[in-house]
Structure 1
Amino acid sequence: MPHTPEPHEDDDLDRTPAPKPVHYAEQALLGALLLEPARLADTEPLIAHHFDSHTHAALFAAIYTLSPPDPADHAKDTAWLNTVLEQARPHAPGLNASYIHALIQFCPQPKHAAAYARMIRADNARRVLRGHAERLASTATDPGLPNPAASTLGMADDIGRVLDSLAEQFAPHPGPLPRTALPAEVPHEASEEDLAEERLLLATATAYPAEVQQMRWLAETDFLLPLHAALWQSIAALVHRGDMVDPVTVLGEAQHRGLLTDALTPKDVMALVSTPAGSPEHWGEKILQRALLARARTVAARIAAFADDPANTPHQLITGSRRALADLNSVRTRWHRATAPTLAPASRAQARPAPVPRAASPPHRPAPPVARAPR
């Protein structure tokens, strides 16, 4: 069956992209409703906002707003069709009577109106979910937000609510998970400031090991530099075993873990863990927040990939997106543990000769000669 163009479509077929399947579903549904207006009851809960085409949305809104005609009268004349056109034209100036009649001719089976409506709602679900994924990614990369972690997690909650709403609209059914090829982790360029924060964590954790015991919320995967992650594990291992912690014992643990190489000398390790500033929790929270935002960008890219894959059914789209959100929620749990207000233990004040504010800025000092390839 040939494609019926919309009134505003470009005649140059070489420059006009091929219509998506939903375009034909919208044409078929509108043709069914124009031919048999009573079929509108079969389309619920479809609304005009679900349509991809502005012209089609205006037509559906007019049909939805007007009272249906008497079937016998509708079969005899075009009075109701003319009223629909008059109602829709202010919102779609290019609409004309010939297109109304072309839609009627295009509809294969008016009795299949409910199936056409489901196709339209499914396509709208993809667009809505993709829009939310774009907002999640944008929020996670916005440097001007006063509380980027809270704003990003709020956007993730919005996606969760959208998925709950879609799950109510589309009945679940058995079937395979999405086979969409997932994009790789969104890379993060390791700036000198980022790497300085990781070095300061290592130094302050060595200086104040008692606080490391409360920082189980920080994982090695949160670090940009694998070396920093390995040294953090070395410090944490000493603390959890109850061993003494200072730059020399950290050097010994690093040696046992095989971290020393020609490029990383004992002097380099000592330099990394010997100049504390601030507190371990402060630097740990900054590292964890950066990891959370990076994970949010990756989750947004995966949800967008699911939405962009037309082979996914609504059920597959919902299931795949929920699994992607679960990856972010694992970091969210650790973030809440890190930032939850707690009473400082009495031993913490005794561990430090002088209190240092948590928000101290990293001092400017050269990095030791080690590789900086981000993880």
Structure 2
Amino acid sequence: MNPLASAEQAVLGSVLLDPGQLSHLDWLAPDHFYRPVHQALFAALRKLQNDGHPALAAEKAVPLSWVTDAVDEAGLHVRGLTAVYAHTLISACPRTAHAPAYGRMVLEGAIHRSITEHAIRFHQAARADALQGQVEGALHYADVLSGVLSDLARRWGTEPRPVATATPPATASTDPPLVRAGQVADDERFLLAVLAERPRAMDEIVDWLRPKDFADPAHGQLYRCLGALHHRGEPIDRITLLWEAQRRGLLADGTLSSNLLTTICDGVGSGSAEWLGEQVVRSSVTRTAATSARAIRHLAENEALAPGRLINHALHALGPLNEVRARWQTANGHPAPTAPAPSTNGPPPTRMHAALARSTPRPARPPSARPGSAPSPAAMRPPSRGHS
């Protein structure tokens, strides 16, 4: 059994053994559990707590009805749960006083799982937008993921802030080629031909179009050469572009070729540079979104990464998309959207403090206080060495 499944069983077993442990798990929700049967059982225990079950007021023996009522309530929402499995959960709990630590393990698994699921949806939306020539879906799911990261940070008890990873995650794309890849390349070449023919058109796009927005690195470097000549106020034609490319070492390293420069400069140069630039930025938005989604999913699938670091690294991975998104908004004459206000529905500070607190030694109930007439296997075992 993997550690996460063991932690889920242990936290449920601790609550079945000691209903008072629920007061130390206010920050844990049923949907943080992976298995549906565990979700249903924890939700049932929460309901019994809210309904004021008599077991919560028991000073000595915990009545057996605490277990049977929880199983009956959970059985209304999930199949296959029996009292036998409930006692299996009791046996799986080494120490009831360690319930907060077990709960943090469950929450940690939920954080990794939730970020992975949202990153997959984000990536799918970016792919769909790239195929359809849109950006709205990718930007919407980017906002959703950003909100999820902020909420998870509050639940974990940390401050959400972008932090770069020590080593960038491997995000080599395994996506199939886009059916619009040819159209994107044509738009880029057409834009460069327009700029070579009408250099003053650079004024329409220079404030928001960047070389990294081009899908083809060679096109991006040629745009950089055009921008340099434009910035220095020098004439722009096939010869000056070729000379600028040579000065930058782009001909020597094979990034550009004289044939490519000739083809673009001798191409048809009539068209709207602003409209073509918007098409280039549009494809850059979806391409950047897909890259960010892959990076975040890679981070979330690393089980060794602590939740706080995972959340902050994921927020950092959204940074490039936020930057190109702001320029996309500028190109379309719309202000960049502000970040959504933090939700007021998150756990209060007391819950965050509980989430951060490790389990502390608490007096264990005597064997007679546990449900049932016979002591559970956990009660029959001697204390483990090194445990309180």
TM category (shorter chain) comes to 0.7 to 0.9
Match of 1:337 in 2: 330
1:163-195 per-position Cα deviation (integer Å, ceiling 9, x unaligned): 22122122339xx97667712353774833222
Q: Distance in 2 between matches of 1:314 and 1:306?
A: 10
The equivalent residue for 2:216 is 225
- 1:316 maps to 309
Q: Find 1:270's aligned residue among 248, 254, 262.
A: 262
What residue number does 1:107 align with? 93
Distance in 1, matches of 2:72 and 2:258, equals 83
Conserved 8 A contact 1:303-1:321 = yes
Q: In the alignment, which of 101, 105, 128 is matched to residue 119 of structure 1? A: 105
CA distance in 1, matches of 2:259, 2:21: 80
How many angstroms apart in 2 are the aligned matches of 1:331 and 1:119?
37
User: SS of the counterpart of 2:54?
Assistant: coil
Amino acid at match of 2:170: P
Aligned residue pairs total 322
Please, which of 285, 298, 311 is the counterpart of residue 292 of structure 1? 285
| Residue equivalent to 1:55 | 37
The within-5 A match list for 1:203-214 is 203-214=193-204
Deviation, structure 1 residue 279: 1.3
1:213 partner SS: helix
Give matches, 1:118-267, under 5 Å: 118-143=104-129, 148-172=134-158, 182-186=169-173, 189=177, 191-216=181-206, 217-257=208-248, 259=250, 266=258
CA distance in 1, matches of 2:164, 2:331: 34
In the alignment, does 2:24 pair up with 1:42? yes
CA apart distance, 1:230: 2.5
Q: CA RMSD in A?
A: 2.9
Which one-letter code corresponds to 1:296 in the other structure?
A: A
Structure 2 residue identity aligned to 1:312: L
Letter in 1 for 2:80: G
Task: Give the match's secondary structure for 1:197.
Answer: helix
Give the Cα–Cα distance (whole angstroms) in 1 for the partners of residues 4 and 203 of structure 2: 56
Over 3 Å counting, the alpha-carbon distance change for 1:328 and 1:50 in structure 2 is same
Report which stretch shifted further, 329-338 or 314-323.
329-338
**Higher relative CO (CA 8 A, sep ≥ 6), structure 1 or 2?**
2
Q: Which amino acid aligns with 2:271?
A: G
User: How many percent identity over aligned positions?
Assistant: 34
Instruction: Say if 1:207 and 1:88 are closer, same or farther in 2 by CA, change over 3 A.
Output: same
Which letter does structure 1 place at the counterpart of 2:195? A
Q: Which moved more, 1:108-117 or 1:163-172?
A: 163-172
* 3-state secondary structure, aligned to 1:148: coil
